[in-house]
Amino acid sequence: MKHIDTLHYITHLLTDYPIAQQVEDVCCGGCRWIQLRMKHADTEERLATAQAIYPLVDRYRAKLIINDDAYVAKAVNAHGVHIGAEDMHPSDARHLLGPDKIIGCTANTLDDVLRLSQYDIDYIGLGPFRFTPTKEKLSPVLGHEGIHRIIAAARTHGIRIPIIAIGGIAIGDIDRLMGTGIYGVAVSKAIHGTMDKVAACRAITAQLTAHNPFPTINYESSITNHRSTKDERHLKNSR
């Protein structure tokens, strides 16, 4: 069973705040999940950055997840990849990376969640929570109500895969968001946009721990149960 952290930090290309320093700060603040996101970089630049920060991530015993690029994830032996709707198919990513690596996917609707849960993935990023300038092709904004509605419906379908809220989340949103049933949050500006990045990270970590002190889901059992339920429905419908 793979452990999925409740706090995911997504790097952002900033001229005055290098990615290596972002990683250092959030790791000092207690974050142990770094998603390397470099949307406008070419493969060589993304690979070089991943190689440069890997020793730092490893020193803190954190996880390095590569956004969008399973080939770079494989090249640097990262812990996994996060893929969007227009990126590599989850099954192709699993075939490329193997059974031990983490694969996360982005969802915006209940149909997305139900579809993605059929594949061998480890978590789903659900959003955007609100408008965020870090995404150029932004899906419809969900807000608290949208996220709560999708998660509640997913649970009625037997989906127990960890669902991470993403997209424009601020520190002040987290307490209410955790009431929607999400497993955790993925943030960027909520940390890098503050004066004291380490303190901001620690504050978010404390909030998440208060809501979910033991964030462990037996995903293998849950996906087996979900698939068994689908098989039972299929048998009933075929009779």
Distances in Å between the alpha carbon of 160 and those of 123, 145, 153, 183? Answer: 10, 19, 11, 10
* Angle, vertex CA 110, rays to CA 109 and CA 116, nearest 5: 95
Q: Which residues pair with 83 in a beta bridge?
A: 105
| CA atoms of 108 and 111, how far apart (whole Å) | 8
For residue 200, give the 3-state DSSP assignment: helix
Please report, as a single letter, which amino acid is at residue 137: K
Is 37 annotated in a binding site? The answer is: yes
Is 87 annotated in a binding site? The answer is: yes
Pairing of strands 184-187, 123-126: unpaired
Please report, as a single letter, which amino acid is at residue 108: N
Is 38 annotated in a binding site? The answer is: yes
Is 135 annotated in a binding site? The answer is: yes
Is 106 annotated in a binding site? The answer is: yes
Is 122 annotated in a binding site? The answer is: no
- Give the residue carrying structure tokens 């601020």: 170
Is 196 annotated in a binding site? The answer is: no
Is 195 annotated in a binding site? The answer is: no
Contacts with 156 (C-beta within 8 Å, 6 or more apart), sequence order: none
Please report, as a single letter, which amino acid is at residue 98: G
- Give the residue carrying structure tokens 């989906």: 159
| CA atoms of 36 and 13, how far apart (whole Å) | 10
* Angle, vertex CA 222, rays to CA 113 and CA 1, nearest 5: 105
Helix (H) or strand (E) holding 146: helix 143-156
Binding site members for Mg(2+): 68, 87
Binding site members: 35-39, 67-68, 87, 106, 132-135, 168
